[in-house]
Chain A
Amino acid sequence: MKLFNLFRIAYRSLNRNKLRSFLTMLGIIIGVASVIAMLAIGEGSNQTIQKSISSLGTNSIFIYPGTNTNGGVRGGAGSNQTLKLEDADAIAAHCDLVKYVTPIVQKKSQLIFGPKNWNSTIMGVRNDYMLIRSLSVIKGSAISEAEQRSAAKVCLVGVTVVFNLFGNEDYNPTGEIIRMNSIPVKIIGVLAKMGQNTFGQDQDDIVLAPFYTVQKRMMISTDHIGSILASGKSELQVVDAVDQITSLLREKHKIAPSDDIDFTVRTQSELSNIFGSITKVMTILLASIAGISLLVGGIGIMNIMLVSVTERTREIGIRMAIGAKGRDVLFQFVIESILISVVGGIIGIILGILTSEMVATFGGWPVVITPLSIILSFGFSSAIGLFFGWYPARKAAALNPIDALRYE
């Protein structure tokens, strides 16, 4: 009953000072919304990166030339030419913990069909590549072993290539002849859509051709290959498979035990850790920006609360003169702060979610809204709102009524 009266008093007071109430809320709204949006962006990137790395296959093993650890999945371009086809063959022959293995050669090239042309990446791979990466063909057929052996002029294309050469993603280009590197090549199938990877690369902008077709017909040097992709027999044996591959290649490359190796072997989980730490740095960065806006919002709340209690000391005096007890005044201010925090917090949550969705829709950036960010930001700004509503009011409520009334 009495508490209900205080709610009524607090509500009237907020309603009477709409601008002040709104400004106080604004601090909370901005703080909450920015924390939610920033953390949603960070978490979204993190999850997408992890997902796209695990889509490479959890058993995957990547072998690059050179010892540069920060190369990408398709790294190894440039002067580091230390891997050869026989390395891939040796892994297939001798490493019993390895299930699939394929050498990879790749080349940027212009594709031409009639008047249209398109620049894409041509990858020469063995058929194991499709198995390691779990790729499938939605139209036409996959490359056969015979086509692999004979270096047939055939290829599989991604949907982006279909769209750019034939004007329509749904077009069935099976049987069409396109020219790449001035060689006519027949399309025999279309790869299932993969979408973008974490780095915004379009994974459907790709042409897969038999390994020999690319190596012998399109590469200047046929000695070296770009990289090797393999997979372990099981997830648990991946690490042992890496050891097998490393010692085998060490031996083949005739590297003394004391010397550094001239290639790099990475598992999918190692890659995932590397990128995981990159996104963690990004998330921390975003979280600090969000934290700063929360702090600024908090200072805003604090300011307005302090100023308003000072300018409201006379009001407190009037209330006490007509019979308000110290705790009535205190409760009124606390209830006002709670109402402001809750309403501002809810608006902030809605705004944060909307902002995140907008970043996702218009910026094409993956976002994931976490409950933790909502609880954290809401809790923090409400706590500030509450404290700075309560603290100055407590001082004012302790005054003699006459001193509060005379306050200037």
Chain B
Amino acid sequence: MAELENLITVKDLTKTYVTGSIDVFALKSVSLTINKGEFVAIMGASGSGKSTFMNIIGCLDNPTSGEYLMEGKDVLTRDKDELAELRNSKLGFVFQSFNLLPRTSAQENVELPLLYNNRVDASIREKKAIEALTSVGLADRLGAMPNELSGGQQQRVAIARALVNAPLVIMADEPTGNLDSKTSYEIMGIFQKLNDEGITIVMVTHEPDIAQFAKTNIVFKDGTIIANHAVMDRKNAVEELKLIASLTEEKSTP
């Protein structure tokens, strides 16, 4: 299998924010390799540099210095348009605050990355969007507006949008930060399923129980990585949800 193929390699990545008189060293010489098929949870205290790191490897932001290779090819030398294409076709983003377009139906939100993709024909656009929404369990809410959906459902729409261009990697910054624990577990169920299908997942979270669903945990502190280890007793979302269902003694949808 391609399990050990390098997907993301960063070396000596630094990010310094210059704000007025003081400089904030958000990242201090971070080096890391993420393989294809990984499911990484990035942990750490608030302000430790997790989001900064995610935004840089997600090509939403530039580092102050360092190296970044994706599939062995340099990323930082690419121009803005090439980076936009990279984000469009290889990366999928899931944000804590969902970031759906308001007053835009679930299906139209999911179609959006396809509209910016030259290689996707109009005839299959709708089909792909419906497929993606079906895979996150929202086949019956295609026309729903974001404000008609619960937080969990909005996050599923965001995941469907991240999925629709068949990316190599999904990057999620605190995807469960605004959700209750059962809904969070459902989201983890989707991530585990996608990961089983071969999609690499990089997720930021500060909740240890959520990090337990990943394969690898990385811990940031003050802009550096202080730990990087495999998860010992990895949780399985399907099992956890069954457990919750039996504990609450109520009929709940799995």
Contacts and interface: CB of A to CB of B under 8 A. Distances in A.
Interface string B98-137: 0111111000100011011110001000000000000000
B99 A405 contact: yes
B76 to A, nearest CB: 14
Interface stretch (A130-138, A203-211, A227-235, A322-330): A322-330
Given A400-B62, A401-B60, A323 B113 contact: yes
Contact of B104 (A12, A323, A400): A12
A331 to B, nearest CB: 11
Contacts of A405: 60, 95, 99
User: Among the interface residues B62, B84, B122, which one has the most CB atoms of the partner chain A within 10 A?
Assistant: B84
A8 interface: yes
Contact of A323 (B61, B85, B95, B100): B85
Nearest to A397: B80
B87 interface: yes
A272 B112 CA distance: 65
Contacts of A1: 118, 122
Interface in B43-86: 55, 58-62, 80-81, 84-85
Contacts of B117: 323
B116 A5 contact: yes
Given A9-B115, A323-B89, A402 B60 contact: yes
Contacts of A327: 81
A330 to B, nearest CB: 12
Interface residues of A, number: 27
B51 to A, nearest CB: 9
Contacts of B103: 16-17
Interface stretch (A160-168, A249-257, A313-321): A313-321
Nearest to A17: B103
Contacts of B108: 12
Contact of A315 (B55, B101, B113, B116): B101
Interface residues of B, number: 31
B99 A323 contact: no
Interface in A262-307: none
Nearest to B103: A16
A5 B89 CA distance: 17
Contact of B84 (A12, A16, A315, A323): A323
Nearest to B171: A321
Contacts of B104: 12, 16
B84 A325 contact: yes
B101 A324 contact: no
Contacts, number: 75
B55 A402 contact: yes
Nearest to B85: A323
Given A8-B115, A12-B108, A16-B103, A322 B161 contact: yes
A321 B93 contact: yes
B88 interface: yes
A2 B61 contact: no
Contact of A326 (B62, B80, B101): B80
B99 A318 contact: yes
A323 B101 contact: no
B80 A322 contact: no
Nearest to B117: A323
Nearest to A317: B99
Interface string A385-408: 000000000000000111001000
B61 A322 contact: no
A400 B61 contact: yes
B90 to A, nearest CB: 10
A5 B81 contact: no
B80 A325 contact: yes
B181 to A, nearest CB: 27
User: Among the interface residues A8, A314, A401, A405, which one has the most CB atoms of the partner chain B within 10 A?
Assistant: A401
B98 to A, nearest CB: 10
A401 B83 CA distance: 11
B123 to A, nearest CB: 12
A320 B89 CA distance: 12
A314 B101 CA distance: 9
B81 A325 contact: yes
B60 A326 contact: no
A322 B60 contact: no
B57 to A, nearest CB: 12
Given A16-B101, A315-B101, A322-B116, 12 more contacts: A8-B115, A321-B58, A321-B93, A322-B87, A322-B113, A323-B87, A323-B117, A325-B80, A325-B85, A328-B84, A401-B59, A401-B87
9 A-B pairs with the lowest CB-CB distances in the bound complex, closest first: A323-B88, A402-B60, A325-B84, A402-B61, A401-B60, A323-B116, A322-B113, A5-B115, A16-B103
Interface of A: 1-2, 4-5, 8-9, 12, 16-17, 314-315, 317-328, 400-402, 405
9 contacts: A5-B115, A9-B112, A314-B99, A321-B99, A323-B84, A324-B88, A326-B84, A401-B87, A402-B60
